[in-house]
């Protein structure tokens, strides 16, 4: 699909307004209703069809998130999306991956899902299991990552600062999961050279982090950690934590490598949470590094819609565009 001319025209328009702020206030009416947040202490578990696997060996000491040993919780978000609740896992200290097998014909491709949640919680259904419903319908094996949270990206000790948390716990969990998935490729009937990642909001940033990592961000634990953690393709949906706030520059902690995987990016211009320049700056950096990239910017759509259809065209169109793109790069 050739939309580069349209994309570049949009980029030039944004650059030409001397960094004027993109609207942060508009939301689709579909997501406007607010509901009471209800949470309780329990460990998130998948519904039928999902096989949940611990990422790290039993008994291994893991660095805890910012809240230490606080028991894991599950709860619902404060806003409805497409008229429905969405649910999160929080205070995650023992990360997992949950595997869903393809429906119908197995294409051999696999997709790992990084839900969003601002690195505070993990949006397990809206940007996790519901994405796997779509992926498995395309014949892909799908994996939802429940990574360690919360982790504060803006501690008072370094404001303003231009660095990511060290160590970056969600990246460690993502790298570990990719190694495990490649190690089990035979038993899962997947092609180890057709494993991609998709992420939303903070999870979209995690997509970019694992796409451009120079190696494991932790000491190897076993044979799985000797396998590549680099994805073969990447999809970033309304990503955050990328744009530096200056011109069209990325944060210094978000370097782009020339061997980053082919990437698909989508976001709404009226996103009130993550400025659209997060997507644009990453697109431009990938182009400069000569990495194949396709980007779609819609005028409206807001933030955190996942794959739920609202009145905004982006919500129904972007999954179809992603499938076309996957076929174009020979991953489906």
Give Cα 111 to chain centroid, integer Å. Answer: 11
Sheet hosting strand 233-237, strand order edge to edge: 51-54, 96-100, 141-146, 110-114, 195-200, 233-237, 263-268, 293-298
Q: CA geometry: angle at 198 spanning 181 and 131, to 5°?
A: 95
Provide the 3-class DSSP secondary structure of residue 137: helix
The third-level CATH classification (topology) of the domain covering 77-154+161-328 is Rossmann fold (3.40.50)
194-220 confidence digits (pLDDT tens): 999 999 999 999 999 999 999 899 999
54: β partners = 96
Q: Are strands 195-200 and 233-237 parallel, antiparallel or unpaired?
A: parallel
The answer to whether the CB of 97 falls within 8 A of the CB of 181 is yes
Q: Are strands 110-114 and 195-200 parallel, antiparallel or unpaired?
A: parallel
Structure tokens at 310: 């609202």
Q: How far is CA 241 from CA 170, 252, 284, 310, in A?
A: 14, 11, 16, 25
Q: Which of 310, 262, 306, 295 is nearest to 134 (CA)?
A: 306
Please give the backbone phi and psi of residue 22, each rounded to the nearest 5 degrees, phi first: -80, 145
Provide the 3-class DSSP secondary structure of residue 306: coil
Q: CA geometry: angle at 182 spanning 237 and 327, to 5°?
A: 45
Q: How far is CA 225 from CA 147, 181, 183, in A?
A: 17, 11, 9
**Cα distance from N-terminal residue to C-terminal residue, the chain:** 15
Question: What's the predicted TM-score (pTM) here?
Answer: 0.89
Cα 151 from Cα 149, distance rounded (Å): 5
103-153 confidence digits (pLDDT tens): 999 999 999 999 999 999 999 999 999 999 999 999 999 999 999 999 976
Give Cα 108 to chain centroid, integer Å. Answer: 21
Q: What is the pLDDT along the chain (332 residues), one digit of tens a residue?
A: 333 333 443 443 333 222 222 222 223 335 457 899 999 999 999 999 999 999 999 999 999 999 899 999 999 998 999 999 999 999 999 999 999 999 999 999 999 999 999 999 999 999 999 999 999 999 999 999 999 999 976 655 555 555 567 789 999 999 999 999 999 999 999 999 999 999 999 999 999 999 999 989 999 999 999 999 999 999 999 999 888 788 887 787 778 999 999 999 999 999 999 999 999 999 999 999 999 999 999 999 999 999 999 999 999 999 999 999 999 999 99
The answer to whether the CB of 298 falls within 8 A of the CB of 313 is yes
The answer to whether the CB of 142 falls within 8 A of the CB of 110 is yes
Spans of all domains in the chain: 77-154+161-328
Structure tokens at 17: 């307004």
Cα 20 from Cα 223, distance rounded (Å): 50
Rg of the Cα atoms in the chain: 19
Cis peptide before 167 (omega within 30 of 0): yes
The DSSP string of 48-83 is TT-EEEESS-TT------TTTTPPPEEEE-SB-BTT
Q: Which of 196, 213, 206, 21 is nearest to 95 (CA)?
A: 206
């Amino acid at each position: 699909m050739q939309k580069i001319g349209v994309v570049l025209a949009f980029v030039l328009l944004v650059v030409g307004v001397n960094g004027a702020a993109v609207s942060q206030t508009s939301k689709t009416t579909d997501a406007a209703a607010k509901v009471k947040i209800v949470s309780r202490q329990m460990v998130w578990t998948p519904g039928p069809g999902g096989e949940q696997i611990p990422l790290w060996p039993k008994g291994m000491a893991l660095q805890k998130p910012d809240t230490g040993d606080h028991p894991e919780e599950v709860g619902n978000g404060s806003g409805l999306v497409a008229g429905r609740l969405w649910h999160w896992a929080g205070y995650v200290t023992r990360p997992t991956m949950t595997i869903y097998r393809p429906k119908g014909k197995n294409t051999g491709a696999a997709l790992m899902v990084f839900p969003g949640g601002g690195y505070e919680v993990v949006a397990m259904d809206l940007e996790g299991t519901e994405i796997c419903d779509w992926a498995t319908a395309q014949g892909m094996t799908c994996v939802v990552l429940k990574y360690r949270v919360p982790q504060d990206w803006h501690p008072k000790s370094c404001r303003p600062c231009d660095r990511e948390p060290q160590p970056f716990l969600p990246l460690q969990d993502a790298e570990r999961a990719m190694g495990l998935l490649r190690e089990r490729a035979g038993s899962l009937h997947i092609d180890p050279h057709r494993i991609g990642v998709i992420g939303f909001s903070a999870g979209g940033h995690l997509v970019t982090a694992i796409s451009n990592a120079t190696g494991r961000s932790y000491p190897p634990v076993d044979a799985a950690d000797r396998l590549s953690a680099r994805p073969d393709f990447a999809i970033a949906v309304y990503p955050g934590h990328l744009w530096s706030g200056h011109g069209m520059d990325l944060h210094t902690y978000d370097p782009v490598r020339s061997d980053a995987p082919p990437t698909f990016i989508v976001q709404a211009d009226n996103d009130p949470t993550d400025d659209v320049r997060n997507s644009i700056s990453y697109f431009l950096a990938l182009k400069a590094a000569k990495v194949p990239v396709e980007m779609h910017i819609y005028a409206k759509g807001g933030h955190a819609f996942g794959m739920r259809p609202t009145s905004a065209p982006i919500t129904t169109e972007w999954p179809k565009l992603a499938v076309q793109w996957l076929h174009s790069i020979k991953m489906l």
